[in-house]
Amino acid sequence: MDHNIAKIRHDYHLKGLREQDLNADPLKQFRLWFDEAIASGIFEANAMLLSTVADGRPSGRIVLLKDLDETGFSFFTNYLSKKGKQMAANPQAALTFFWKELERQVRVEGWIKKTTDFESDEYFSIRPRGSQIGAWVSAQSEIIPDRAYLEEKTREIDTKYEGMNVPRPPFWGGYRLIPDYIEFWQGRPSRLHDRLVYTRSERGLWEIERLSP
C-alpha cells in the first residue's frame, strides 16, 4: 500500500503550557513531567535521544535515562563505543525526550562528565546478570563477524564468572549531562505549539523565555 508521507498529520490539543505553570527550577519541572509520563503508562518513558558531535559530524542514538538529580541527567554505556569516543573528543551533547501520548517533548543541552566509579559500580551491581555479562561481551560499535561470535563470547564470560558476582568492566560506566539549556514543548492546535526554554545565565541562574513555534 502506498502512503503519502506529506499527508501524515496529527493536530495536538491535550494541554497548554504557560509561564506561570512552570517551576523555577527546570530539573524539578522535568521531574514533574517525567512522573506524569510514568503515571501515564508510557513504555520506556526514560528513553531519550542522545546527540553527540565529533569532527563536525552529528550522531544520534536512543539510550535510557538511569538517574536524575539536582545536577543533571545520567546514563550508562561503553566508554569505548562510538558515542563514548565522541563525548571524549567533544564533551557537549544534547538529549531529546518525546512523549507522544502527552504531546510533549523536552530538549536538553549541556556538558558531559563521567559519573564517579562509585556511581557506576552501584548501578552495575543492580543490573540483571545477563546485562552485566553483556557489558563484557560487547565491544560496542566495533565490527564483528556474526551473531555466533556474540553467543560464544557470552558463554565464555558466563563460564568465567560462574558462581561469582560479575565485576564492572573498566571500559563501562556512567555519564552525566549537566544542562545549561532545557526546553519544554507542549503540542497545540494548528502547529502553534508552546515552547518555553530555561537558559542558565553566566551567574548560574535560570532564565525562562518563550520561543515562537
Q: Which residues are annotated as a binding site for substrate?
A: 66, 123, 127, 131, 191-193
Choose, from 104, 191, 200, 210, the residue flagged as catalytic: 191
Which residues are known binding-site members?
A: 61-66, 76-77, 82-83, 105, 123, 127, 131, 140-141, 185, 191-193, 195
What type of residue sits at position 51? Answer: S
Which residues are known binding-site members for FMN?
A: 61-66, 76-77, 82-83, 105, 140-141, 185, 195
Whether 191 is catalytic:
yes
For residue 60, which of 104, 36, 93, 27 has the smallest C-alpha distance?
Answer: 93
- Specify the DSSP class assigned to residue 116: P
**C-alpha R_g of the chain:** 20
What does the alpha-carbon distance between residue 40 and residue 181 come to, in Å, rounded to a whole number?
26
What does the alpha-carbon distance between residue 33 and residue 188 come to, in Å, rounded to a whole number?
17
- What are the angstrom distances between the C-alpha of 121 and each of 4, 5, 170, 192? 49, 46, 10, 45
What type of residue sits at position 2? Answer: D
- The residues that are catalytic are 191
